Amino acid sequence: MTFHSILFERPEDRTEPWPAAPDFFIDLNLDQVVDDIIAGREEYGLKPFFLAPLKSVGAIEYRHEIMRELEAARTRDAIQSFAQAMSRTRRYWGISAKIIDKNVKQGWFLNAVEAYCDAVGGLARDLEAAGPKSRGLSSFLEYLKKYAESSEFTSLSAETKKVRADLSTAKYCLLIRGNQFSVRKYEGEAEYSAEVERTFQKFKQGAAKDYRIEIPDFLDVNHLEEAALDFVAKLYPEIFQGLDAYCARHPNFLESTIATFDREVQFYVANLDLVAQLRATGLQFCYPEVSESKEVSSRESFDLALAVKLMREKSYVVTNDFYLKGDERILVVNGPNQGGKTTFARAFAQQHYLASLGCPVPGREARLFLFDRIFTHFEREEDISDLRSKLEDDLVRIHAILDKCTPNSIVIVNELFSSSALPDAVFLGKKVLDRIIQLDSLCIYVTFLDELSSLEKTVSMLSTIRADNPEVCTFKIVRRPADGLAYAQAIANKYQLSYERIKERIRS
C-alpha cells in the first residue's frame, strides 16, 4: 500500500481548489459554515480544502473511512498529541528564525527538532496501538513506521539527544559584584536552597501568602544575558561547536510528508470538533450514501450555519426531511413568509456540498447526488450602475445559470421574478422550470406561485403553520399539494373572517 495523502488516496483523486469561494457560497451560507469549522486553526490554512469538492464516489468513501476512525477516542488522542507536538515544533522554529544572537537562535532550533522527534516517535507508537483499519490511516502508519526506523530519522533523533545531553553538562557560576559580573565553570559549590527550606520548615504554620513574582518567559535575551551566554560558550567551546555543527547539518529537518499530514489531518479533526459540539445539543450527523442516482433523500436535515448560530444562543433547531423518487427532480417550496423555505433550500444544497467534500452531513441518514456544479439564484440588491431593472437582472442571471447548467448540476432558485406581475411571473417561472426539466437537473425552487408545483418532475412542498395560531410558523416543510388557500383560510378563521362566520354575523 503506497501512501500519497491523507486527503486523497490516489494522485488522480486530487482536485485543485478554486482560487476564491464561488458566488453560491454566500447564498448558501457556506462561507459561514467553513469559518465555523476552521475557527481556531488558522495556522493550518485549511480553507482551500473546502474549496475543492471531490469528483468520485471512491474518493469520498476514502475520507469517510478516515473520518469514522478518527471518531474513536484512541485514534483521535494520538492525532491530537501529534498536533500539539508539531505546533510546538513550528513555534520554536519560528522563534529561532527571528532571533539574531547565534547561541540563543541555535538553542531554540534544538528545541524545535526535539519537539519534532517527540511528535514522530509518539505518533508512530500511539497510532500503532490504536490499530487503524482505514485505507488512509493504515497506509500512513506503514509509511510513518518506515520513516521512524530510517537512518535519516534515527540519526537525527540520536544527535539531538546527544547535543541536549552535552549542553546539560555545561554548568557555570555567575558572580555579580556591583555593576559587574563574571562567569566561571561550576566547581562543585554547595546548593543551599534545600538546606534553607529544611531549616525553616519547623516554623511553618500553614499556607502563607506567596510574595514571589513570576519572571516572564522572554523569547529573546537582553544584552547582559547574551554576554553571559557568550562567556559560557567560551568556557565550553567543544559543546557549543557541536551545537553549531548540528544546526548546520539539519537546516531542513522537517520531512515533507509528515508536515503535509500534520496539516491535512486537521481537515478531519476540525470537522469532527464542530460535529461533536452540535451532537451534544441533540442534533444528528451521518455519513451519506453518495452516488450518481438522483433519487436523493434525507431525514432530520438542517441548515448548518443556522444551527451553529442557534447553538450559541441556546435555541432549538427545527429539522426537516426530503426525498425525490423515480423521475422526480424538482422540489417546489411554497408557503408563508418567514416560514423556513429559504433555510430548507440552503440545507438541501449544504448537505450535497459537504457530502462532496467527504464530510459528515446534518441529518440522521441521507442519500445524496454526486453533482458537477451548484448554481444559485437569490435576490440581489439593485445596482444602479448597470442600469438594469430588477426583472431584467433576474432574466440575465438565470439565463447565465441555465446556459452553464448540465444534467449533473444542482440549481437553487429563491423567489425568482418577485418584482413581476403575477401572470408574467407564472409564465417566466414555467419557462425556467421547463428548461431545468429538459436538462434533468436537480432543483429546489422557492416561490409563492402555486402553479409551478404541478409541472412534470416537480414535487410540491409547503412550509407549515401552527393550527391554533396561524401567525406562528413551525418551520416544518412537508410534501403537500399547494392550493393557495391554506394560509389565507387559517388567518381568516383566526380573525373570524371566514365565509361561514361572515354569513353568521350578517344573519345576526
Q: Nine-digit cell at 137?
A: 490511516
Ordered per-residue pLDDT tens for the chain, 508 residues = 578 899 999 999 999 999 999 989 999 999 999 999 999 999 999 999 999 999 999 999 999 999 999 999 999 999 999 999 999 999 999 999 999 889 999 999 999 999 999 999 999 999 999 999 999 999 999 999 999 999 999 999 999 999 999 999 999 888 888 888 888 888 887 777 788 888 888 777 666 676 666 655 556 678 888 888 888 989 999 999 999 999 999 999 999 999 999 999 999 999 999 999 999 999 999 999 999 999 999 999 999 999 999 999 999 999 999 999 999 999 999 987 788 899 999 999 999 999 999 999 999 999 999 999 999 999 876 555 665 688 888 899 999 999 999 999 999 999 888 777 888 888 999 999 999 999 999 999 998 888 888 888 999 999 887 767 666 778 899 998 876 654 455 556 555 666 677 777 777 6
Q: What is the pLDDT of residue 107?
A: 94
Nearest to 157 by CA among 118, 109, 104: 118
What is the pairing mode between strands 172-177 and 180-185?
A: antiparallel
The 3-state DSSP class for residue 220 equals coil
What are 460's strand-pairing partners? 332
Q: What is the pLDDT of residue 213?
A: 60
Q: Cα separation of 402 and 437, whole Å?
A: 11
Nearest to 416 by CA among 433, 429, 399: 429
How far the first Cα of the chain sits from its last, in Å, is 87
- Beta-carbon contacts of residue 377 (< 8 Å; ≥ 6 apart): 394, 397, 398, 401, 411, 412, 413, 414, 416
The number of helix segments (H) and strand segments (E) in the chain equals 17, 14
Other beta carbons within 10 Å of 96? 20
Q: What is the pLDDT of residue 487?
A: 46
Q: What is the pLDDT of residue 63?
A: 98
Question: Domains in the chain, ordered, with CATH?
Answer: 11-16+52-168+252-266 (no CATH), 281-507 (3.40.50.300)
The whole model's pTM is what?
0.87
355 in Cβ contact with 367 (< 8 Å) = no
CA torsion 91→93→97→99, rounded to 10°? 70
What are 322's strand-pairing partners? 298
Other beta carbons within 10 Å of 86? 22
369 in Cβ contact with 296 (< 8 Å) = yes
The DSSP result for 221-239, as a single string, is --HHHHHHHHHHHHHSHHH
Other beta carbons within 10 Å of 399? 12
State the Cα angle at 7 between 352 and 84, rounded to 5°. 115
Q: What is the pLDDT of residue 267?
A: 98
**Cα Rg of the chain (Å, integer):** 33
